A and B are shown apart, each in its own frame.
Chain A
Amino acid sequence: DQQVKQNSPSLSVQEGRISILNCDYTNSMFDYFLWYKKYPAEGPTFLISISSIKDKNEDGRFTVFLNKSAKHLSLHIVPSQPGDSAVYFCAASASGGGADGLTFGKGTHLIIQP
């Protein structure tokens, strides 16, 4: 049972436009959400996070939105740059019994086209 779902395996966006990556979760105990970026043959790199007490968190070109009622979060990248081409993983954790690390989605491969 996949508790964190990224339904788009890939996404192609033109350079300079907005990239929107989506993530859905099913476990209502999740209260902390993260996005990781991964280049081929490298480890995932932490990008941005959001706590369930917020509905938006912004860091430079990256903004994460959380809709708790819909159990949905999204990552917006504006403007998209060629270096943003990578696989993006959504992850979630439950702080109460959160000793089981993070639960990851399967990732979305973002391709920024020139």
Chain B
Amino acid sequence: DSGVTQTPKHLITATGQRVTLRCSPRSGDLSVYWYQQSLDQGLQFLIQYYNGEERAKGNILERFSAQQFPDLHSELNLSSLELGDSALYFCASSFPAAGNTIYFGEGSWLTVV
């Protein structure tokens, strides 16, 4: 158990809909990262937050957004969903702001039908 908690574990939704994925980082960790893993793809970095502020953006679509709350949990919002958004979405956390060892949650499986 990495200490990073993600909900929901599985989600099936229709095209055009909007979903929110939730992440609670490890106790004491200030940075939260979101990654996407599609079929045949590696882990694609989406976005990072540090202590409530957006720190870095990766390959995140404009239809997606995220935030980190004062209690340090984070949410990833996916809107106008398309079939191609079906993927495993991982949250990870770490203590320092800079890239270092990060610890992953078990992921949220999103299926868009």
Contacts and interface: CB of A to CB of B under 8 A. Distances in A.
Bound pair: A and B? Answer: yes
Interface of A: 32, 34, 36, 41-46, 49, 89, 91, 93-95, 98-107
Given A34-B101, A99-B99, A44 B43 contact: yes
B107 A42 contact: yes
A106 B42 contact: yes
Closest 6 pairs (CB-CB, A-B): A93-B99, A98-B99, A43-B104, A106-B42, A98-B98, A100-B56
Contacts of A43: 2, 4, 90, 92, 104-107
B106 A49 contact: no
Interface of B: 2, 4, 33, 35, 40-43, 45, 48, 50, 55-56, 58, 90, 92, 97-107, 109
A9 to B, nearest CB: 9
A41 B6 CA distance: 13
Given A32-B100, A44-B104, A89 B43 contact: yes
B99 A104 contact: no
Contacts of A91: 43
Contacts of B48: 99-101
A103 B42 CA distance: 10
Contacts of A42: 106-107
Contacts of B41: 106
A7 to B, nearest CB: 13
